[in-house]
Amino acid sequence: MKHRHLIAAGIAAALLGVSACGSSNDAPTGNNQAASQPKEITIWLMNGSAPDSVVQAVNKEFTAKHPGTTPKIEIQQWDGIQEKTTTALAGNTPPDVLEIGSTLVSKFADSGGLADLTGKKSDLGGDSWLKGLTEAGTLDGKIYGVPYYGGVRAVIYRTDMFTKAGISSPPTDLASFTAMLDKLQKKFGADPKFSALYFPGQYWYAALPFVWDAGGELAVQDGGQWKGALDSPQAQAGLSTLKDLVTKYSKAPVNGNENDNDPATPMGEGKAGVIIDNGWKVGVITKAHPELKGKVAVFALPGKSPGTTAPVFLGGSNLAISEGSKAPDLAYDWLKIMAGTTAQTQLATDGGVIPNSTNLLNLHAKDPILSVFDAAAKNSRSTPATPKWANVESGTILQDMLVAIFSGKSSVADATKTASEAITKTLNS
């Protein structure tokens, strides 16, 4: 869906691409003697991450600089990506450049599959990178994953429903957020399928802001050892708050996840008052329900204290160069163009994602929706930067905890204790 309007913006993009080529006149780096240049470098990008227009512009700039080399783009699917990345990095011909989901970078870096790019940080303009993505791409102080793009969640709502419920302005703190949910519930609650807040039980990305805003952490590092911290009083308080909201206002499946029970669907059908989701969901909603165009709006998830917003999870991807790349210099040049200002600007405008640099966060200033997400990105965080974190995700520890809490099968105290122990065990195994 996202693809579609990205492709629609193709012509403008092509123009931008031309200007991008014109603007780059860096001298070729030392190792690029034409004779020994490989004919091809392979780049892996994830399905739906960068619009074709951006990729083509980057390739064009790259081939202008290295006429003998063709950048071969392979779009990888999310299904089985860990398996694919694992075997590819262990193989004889790994891809030269690859996009890796931000929370997986440290896992692959730790295993020796990715090239150390620490020395290139200033060359890449690393001082202005988004903090969350930089942390995700860093392991033991070394940089392996260059921030590519980010995505954060905010509260999405329908203006027509807010008007009907008599809500005039977005809430500014958690208390007024709850009051707003009450109003929505009162107005539309006659429908048994209506959720003032639609929150599938396993949706841990959207649960993290509540933990962080209350001062809790997922895990803390203590003398080289990691320790699960969800059983701290702060984290428990945050999760209790969320539990109250979910049990009172959400009819979403407690055991559901945000893919199978996509919050965009009930929003489009008027069965959800608000949802917590990514910026592109606005387009998903209006595509299925064209009559809602212009009626979908967003605000940042408010924090506990008045006037603050809750820290949100910064998802997204990093770009890395494989340790086994046969042409690391060429790979670096491609990566540098993609991570550079021109491509990032285009990525933000064409793709609607959050660019990798804080300097570019004003690009959507005039867009009432995307500007909210850009602002939220400034107060964003990532998961603990340890190679073992990926195992916490694949072990569905957080999902199990949330389901246990929301279903009432365990108390917040018990569920967080179980989860914390599991996290401690996983991170130190």
Partner 1 sequence: MDVLDTGQPDVDSALATTTVGAPLGGAPTGPARRHRRRAGHLLPYWLLLPSVVVLVGLLAYPLFSLVTTSFRRLDLRQLIRRQTIWVGTANYRAILRDHEFWVVTLRTIVFAMVCVAATLLAGTLVALLMRRLGRGMRLLVSVGMLLAWATPTVSAATVFKWLFDEQYGVVNWLVTELTPLDWSAHSWFDSKWPAFFVLGLCVVWQAIPFVALTLYAGLTSIPEEIYEAATIDGAGAWRQFWAVTRPLLRPIFLILISLSLIWDLKVFSQLYVITRGGPSRSTLLLNLYTYNLGFGVSRFGVAAAAAVIMVVITFIATAFYIRTMIRVGEEAL
Partner 2 sequence: MTAMRRPKRRKRGAVAANIAAVLVFLFFAFPVYWMASTAFKPAAQIRTFNIKLFPTALTLDHFRDAFRTANFWTFLRNSLIVSLSTTVLSVLVALLAATALARFRFRGRRTYLIMILVVQMVPLEALVIPMYLVLRDADLLNVLPVLVATYMAFVLPFTIWTLRGFVATLPVDLEEAAMVDGASRLGAFWRITFPLMAPGLVATGVFAFIQAWNEFILALTLMEQQNQTLPVWLGTFKTATGVDWGGLMAGSTIFAIPVVAFFLVVQGRMTSGLAAGAVKG
Residues near partner 1, by CB under 8 A: 82-83, 86, 89-90, 107-108, 110-113, 192-193, 251-256, 260-261, 265, 323, 391, 394-396, 399-400, 403-404, 407, 426, 429
Residues 63, 25: Cα–Cα separation, whole Å: 12
DSSP, collapsed to helix, strand or coil, labels residue 273 as strand
- As a whole number of angstroms, the distance between CA 198 and CA 270 comes to 11
289 binds, among partner 1, partner 2, none (CB under 5 to 8 A by kind): partner 2
Q: CA of 328: how far to CAs of 29, 136, 162, 325, 332, in Å? A: 12, 22, 53, 6, 6
The residue among 240 and 265 lying less far from partner 2, judged by its C-beta, is: 265
In the complex, the residues that contact partner 2 under the rule CB under 8 A are: 1-3, 46-49, 74-80, 83-84, 86-87, 90-93, 151, 193, 259-260, 262, 264-266, 268-269, 271, 278, 280-281, 284, 287-289
First to last CA, the chain: 41
- The listed partner (partner 2, partner 1, none) that binds 1, CB under 5 to 8 Å by sort, is partner 2
User: Residue 55: which H helix or E strand, with range?
Assistant: helix 52-65
224: left (phi over 0), alpha (psi -120 to 50) or beta: left
d(CA 29, CA 42): 19
CB of 261 vs partner 2, minimal distance in Å: 9
| DSSP class of 112 | T
**Closest CB 426 distance from partner 1, rounded Å:** 8
Q: Report the partner that residue 107 touches, choosing among partner 1, partner 2, none (CB closer than 5 to 8 A by kind).
A: partner 1
Whole-number Å distance between alpha carbons of 381 and 150: 11
Q: How far is the CB of 142 from partner 1 (least distance, A)?
A: 16
Toward partner 1, which CB reaches closer, 86 or 424?
A: 86
CB contact at 8 A, 145 and 392:
no
d(CA 188, CA 153): 24
Binding-site partner at residue 256 among partner 1, partner 2, none, CB < 5 to 8 Å by type: partner 1
- Measured from the CB atom, the residue of 51 and 171 that comes closer to partner 2 is 51
Smaller CB separation from partner 1, 43 or 397: 397
Phi and psi, residue 23, nearest 5°: -80, -20
For residue 203, the minimal CB distance to partner 1 (Å) is 14
Of 205 and 226, CB closest to partner 2: 205
Least distance from partner 1 to the Cβ atom of residue 85, Å: 10
Task: Choose among partner 2, partner 1, none what residue 77 binds, the Cβ cut-off being 5 to 8 Å by kind.
Answer: partner 2
Q: Which does 215 bind (CB under 5 to 8 A by kind): partner 1, partner 2, none?
A: none
* DSSP strand pairing (296-299 vs 153-158): antiparallel
Binds 31, which of partner 2, partner 1, none (CB < 5 to 8 A, cut-off by type)? Answer: none
Nearer Cβ to partner 2 (45/423): 45
**Binding partner of 36, given partner 2, partner 1, none, CB within 5-8 angstroms per partner class:** none
Contact of residue 47 among partner 1, partner 2, none (CB under 5-8 Å per partner type): partner 2
Task: Name residue, tokens 């500007």.
Answer: 371
H/E run at residue 88: helix 81-90
Least spacing, CB of residue 195 vs partner 1, in Å = 10
CA 180 – CA 323 distance, rounded (Å): 52
CB of 419 to partner 1, least distance (A): 11
d(CA 299, CA 317): 24
Which residue lies nearer to partner 1 by CB, 266 or 351?
266
What is the nearest approach in angstroms of partner 1 to the Cβ of residue 177?
24
Contact of residue 38 among partner 1, partner 2, none (CB under 5-8 Å per partner type): none
Instruction: Pick the closer one to partner 1 by CB: 22 or 112.
Output: 112
CB of 213 to partner 1, least distance (A): 26
Alpha helices in 352-409 (DSSP H): 370-378, 389-394, 397-406
Tell me how far apart the alpha carbons of residues 207 and 381 are, in angstroms, rounded to a whole number.
13
HSE-up of residue 100 (Cα within 13 Å, Cβ side)? 34
Please answer whether residues 226 and 323 qualify as being in contact, where contact means their C-beta atoms are separated by less than 8 angstroms.
no
Closest CA to 253 of 242, 267, 263, 268: 263
Smallest gap, in angstroms, from Cβ of residue 162 to partner 2?
A: 21
Closer CB to partner 2, 124 or 348, in the complex = 348
Q: What is the amino acid identity at position 422?
A: A
Residue 8's identity, in one-letter code, is: A
Nearer to partner 2, 102 or 309 (CB): 102
